[in-house]
Amino acid sequence: MNFNSLYEKPVLFAIAAVVVISIGTLVTTFIPLFLPSTQPVSPLVKPYTAVETEGRDIYIREGCNNCHTQTVRPLRAEVARYGDYSKPEESAWDRPFLWGSRRTGPDLARLGGKYPDAWHYRHMANPRSMFPASNMPAYPWLGTAKLDTALTARKVKVLGFGYDDAEVARQLAAFRRTVTVPSYASAQVRDQATPAALRGELTELDALVAYLQKLGRDLKAAQRPAGPGTAQAAEGKNPYAGDRAAGEEGEKIFEENCRVCHGEKGAGGFGPKLATTNHKFGGTDADLFASVSGGRPGGMPTFLQRLGRDRIWKVIAYIRRLEGGNR
Amino acid sequence: MTNGKRSDSVVRGFALSSVFWLLVGLVVGLWLAAEMIYPSLNLAPWLAFGRLRVVHTNGLAYGFTLAGIFAGSFYMLEKLTRTRLAFPGLAKVQLWLFNIAIALAALSLFAGMNTSKEYAELEWPLDIVVVVLWVMFAVNVMGTLVKRREKQMYVSLWFLVACVVTVAVVYILNNLAVPVSLTKSYSAYAGVNDANVQWWFGHNAVASVFTFPILAMFYYFLPKSAELPIYSHRLSIIAFWSLVFGYLWTGAHHLMLTPVPEWIQTVALAFSLFLIAPSWASVINGFYTMNGNWDRMKSNYLVKFFILGITFYGLQTIQGPTQAIRALSGHLHYTEYIPGHVHMGTMGWVTMIITASMYFMMGKIAGRGIHSVKLANVHFWLILVGQLLFTVALWIAGVVQGAMWKATNADGSLMYTFLDSVAAMYPYWTARLLGGLLYFAGIAVFAYNLIMTSRKPQAA
């Protein structure tokens, strides 16, 4: 056959084109589908609960993935900003995957447990009430919409999460109790985002917050050291104690990193009041350093990688001034 | 050239549909650009950025670009085969079904029915409609090629066939999903595999929508407009096969430094660099076609569209592979640099070629050229300057943003909060909006000019 006749035989030409595009497809896409090493599975990474599944679908519906990634790259600054880099096992239950392609807002892969629920309720209702320079849309309509759970059992079955309809109903009821009892830690802020008629129901915002709190939590749980802050316990004394300039610099750092949760001049908010000598996790230099650098349960993130030792001590110098002003 | 009647009305129908969806997609784009600066414009759920961005990308990739490709394809098919479309009635049905499908697609995306997979967001019932549309198109392309009266198939027809088969393969495989209701489904693949399949699709949707058929139009309409033969037939053979072969390996360059297996990333990087050669073969073929006749850039209003278009294609295909290099990907990926890159391709390359091809086709169909060459020149300069302002602003923005994310103090702690990097973007976002407005003004001039051209026969 004369090779040039390929350009005279359209059907043969189309077949040739299919063969040519199939080679790269086969090697880079099709064969990896059948290699278990492409998507390893770990028992430490749990499937989503019924509520988290609904929350994830709201995340998809609103197109959150258009501005937020969910994959931390193995780069030094990235690990410092967000936490440990993403592992393939963490995506095993994700259909679809939600790694995203653009960070108009920050990566969310390590968001779970970083802040208390109340932080999210307020932030979703109006991001600019907390961060004036933010350009994230406000989502007030999520808190005013009752969560539709008609398809939840079916979704869980299709996704193969391994629990039955009765368990779905139990989880939905249990979660509803959790967020609607008066003793719920974020009850006050949730009530502000939820109309009176829906305060006893599950809303779309409840489900979304549940999903956001799941992100990265399994990995964090698997990697948790003996206790938060233990590695930094050796740091005992503030080198900036009484240093006026350091305290002023600490105030700026506080404004950018702490104010949103601990309130104006440490008056308290989602996080405990800091303008006091009676600190929740202890008031010595070593205690405060451990709290800021290593984080505390209930929503205090770790700041060692982000701020570094020096700036943490400056913030503590500022906190000491707040204590003083309060005395 | 053709024997008997031609399918001018279908070509005109797709051309005007294309212009309509172009205007809609750009208005949405402008709204998005404004939302970046004024978040209070997220007035309602269907206007919120996350939903609107998907309407923008789908409306322009599928509404505008595909309609433009259909118009150009049917026109070129009849000319290059010297015969009428095999199934002109089917092409008319395709025109109507296409517009209904795009309208439904826009409405469903406004309503938040989306799969989240980029450029494959449509839910499964609309995916089926898209496949039906594509089969209709493929039947006409192959049918017309089989009954052609011209012995050799010209290079434009090869790219058309490549477009037909590649879209079919990547679209169907990436959209495989298990439905839970009429408006909701879950991907057939999980996690890393879903990511790998998605970006194999994502990159080859770019290849088979923004590259192959646009090259087909370039290879046909540049020589036609310039009244010069294409420089080298042999070069186009080499360029074609190596481009079509290489593209399918490169999807994972969208997933550098993610949990996708490292070997897949590295293979994608290698083939991305390889693709510079066949991409530039087309650039060189275009430039050398003009050799000795560069004065036609000045004397022929269409030539400059095609030459600037292929120049941006050349820049695009250098920039793209460099972004695949791990060190650069680490700095630039996820920043504004990437939308800057994409918009050079779409606003610089794709739109230049499609709008110029439409002037050529509609001028021929009207039988007396276009309504106003002067307005075509105004259109050219507005979209050129608008695009450059838009893309250059975003490239700089991306480099700044990446640097702020990386910057550390002497003790290794981070220099900037994420919010600092957002606050630094506002001036660039303003420049982008201005560029978008200029570009939109150019497209509005184009739309007016084209509509006036298509009206001419009735007026006479």
Tokens 């590259």 belong to: B211
**Other beta carbons within 10 Å of A45:** 21
Q: How far apart are CA A68 and CA B209, in angstroms?
A: 26
Q: Which of B152, B194, B258 sits opposite A95 (nearest CB)?
A: B194
CA distance B228 to chain A (A): 22
The pLDDT value recorded for residue B457 is 54
Angle at A299 between CA A296 and CA A303, to 5 degrees: 60
Q: With a CB-CB cutoff of 8 Å, which residues 230-249 of chain A face chain B?
A: none
Tokens 């560029």 belong to: B435
DSSP tag of B343:
H
Domain boundaries, chain B: 8-455
Tens of pLDDT, residue by residue over B385-413, are: 999 999 999 999 999 999 999 999 999 99
Q: Which of A73, A139, A141 sits opposite B257 (nearest CB)?
A: A73
The pLDDT value recorded for residue A3 is 64
Q: Is the pLDDT of residue B327 over 90?
A: yes
Q: A232: which strand partners? A: none
Answer yes or no: are the C-beta atoms of A292 and A308 closer than 8 Å: no
Q: For B249-263, what is the mean pLDDT?
A: 97
CA distance B354 to chain A (A): 24
Q: Which of B180, B411, B418 sits opposite A106 (nearest CB)?
A: B418
Does the distance separating the beta carbons of B50 and A63 come in below 8 Å?
yes
Phi, psi of B85 (to 5 degrees): -50, 145
Structure tokens at B28: 């949405």
Of A234 and B92, which is predicted with more confidence? Answer: B92
Structure tokens at A152: 């939840």
* Chain B CB within 8 Å of residue A92 CB: yes
Q: Is the pLDDT of residue B416 over 50?
A: yes
The pLDDT value recorded for residue A234 is 57
Structure tokens at A292: 């800021």
Closest residue in B to A81 (Cα) is B414
Q: How far apart are CA B170 and CA B301, in angstroms?
A: 37
Q: Is the pLDDT of residue B1 over 50?
A: no
Answer yes or no: are the C-beta atoms of A215 and A110 closer than 8 Å: yes
Q: How far apart are CA A265 and CA A274, in angstroms?
A: 8
Does the distance separating the beta carbons of B193 and A38 come in below 8 Å?
yes
Q: How far apart are CA B88 and CA B75, in angstroms?
A: 12
The pLDDT value recorded for residue A5 is 83
Cβ burial of A244 (10 Å; 0-12, 13-18, 19+) is exposed
Nearest to B435 by CA among B401, B372, B400, B393: B393
Q: How far apart are CA A254 and CA B417, in angstroms?
A: 12
Q: How far apart are CA A22 and CA A18, in angstroms?
A: 6
Closest residue in B to A41 (Cα) is B191
**Other beta carbons within 10 Å of B225:** 20
Q: Which of A135, A257, A304 sits opposite B39 (nearest CB)?
A: A135
Is residue B293 very low, low, confident or very high in pLDDT (cuts 50, 70, 90)?
A: very high
The pLDDT value recorded for residue A229 is 47
Interface test with A, best of B414, B428, B433 (most A CBs within 10 A): B414
A165-180 and A50-61 are packed helices; what angle lies between their axes, rounded to 10 degrees? 80
Does the distance separating the beta carbons of B180 and A155 come in below 8 Å?
yes
Q: Which of B142, B192, B252 sits opposite A39 (nearest CB)?
A: B192
Q: How far apart are CA B330 and CA B325, in angstroms?
A: 8
Tens of pLDDT, residue by residue over B198-242, are: 999 999 998 899 999 999 999 999 999 999 999 999 999 999 999
How confident is the prediction for chain B on average, in pLDDT? 96
The pLDDT value recorded for residue A230 is 47
Q: How far apart are CA B302 and CA B380, in angstroms?
A: 9
Q: How far apart are CA B334 and CA A68, in angstroms?
A: 9
Residues 6+ apart with CB under 8 A from A280: A272, A296
The size of the A-B interface in CB pairs under 8 A is 266
Answer yes or no: are the C-beta atoms of A71 and A100 closer than 8 Å: yes
Tens of pLDDT, residue by residue over B100-157, are: 999 999 999 999 999 999 999 999 999 999 999 999 999 999 999 999 999 999 999 9
Divide the 327 residues of chain A into consecutive groups of 10 and give the mean pLDDT of each group: 79 96 97 96 96 98 98 96 96 98 98 95 96 97 97 98 97 97 95 96 98 95 64 72 91 92 90 91 91 88 89 93 70
Q: Hey, what CATH topology would domain B8-455 get?
A: Cytochrome C Oxidase; Chain A (1.20.210)
Is residue B301 very low, low, confident or very high in pLDDT (cuts 50, 70, 90)?
A: very high
The pLDDT value recorded for residue B281 is 97
Does the distance separating the beta carbons of B246 and A137 come in below 8 Å?
no
Q: Which domains does chain A have, with CATH numbers?
A: 50-223 (1.10.760.10), 230-326 (1.10.760.10)
Q: How far apart are CA A311 and CA A241, in angstroms?
A: 13
- Residues counted in chain B: 460
A10-25 and B124-146 are packed helices; what angle lies between their axes, rounded to 10 degrees? 140
Interface test with A, best of B140, B272, B413, B420 (most A CBs within 10 A): B413
Q: Is the pLDDT of residue B5 over 80?
A: no
Q: Which of A33, A76, A138 sits opposite B193 (nearest CB)?
A: A33
Q: B179: which strand partners? A: B185
The pLDDT value recorded for residue A232 is 47
Q: A300: which strand partners? A: A296
Query: How far, rounded to the nearest angstrom, does the alpha carbon of residue A166 sit from its chain's CA centroid?
Result: 29
The pLDDT value recorded for residue B52 is 97
pTM of the complete model: 0.94
Q: How far apart are CA A130 and CA A143, in angstroms?
A: 18
Tokens 């990688």 belong to: A305
Q: How far apart are CA B177 and CA B196, in angstroms?
A: 15
Q: What is the largest CA-CA distance in chain B?
A: 79
Contacts with A101 from chain B: Cβ below 8 Å: 118, 254, 334, 338
The pLDDT value recorded for residue B2 is 44
Angle at B70 between CA B67 and CA B75, to 5 degrees: 130
Answer yes or no: are the C-beta atoms of A222 and A90 closer than 8 Å: no
The pLDDT value recorded for residue A57 is 98
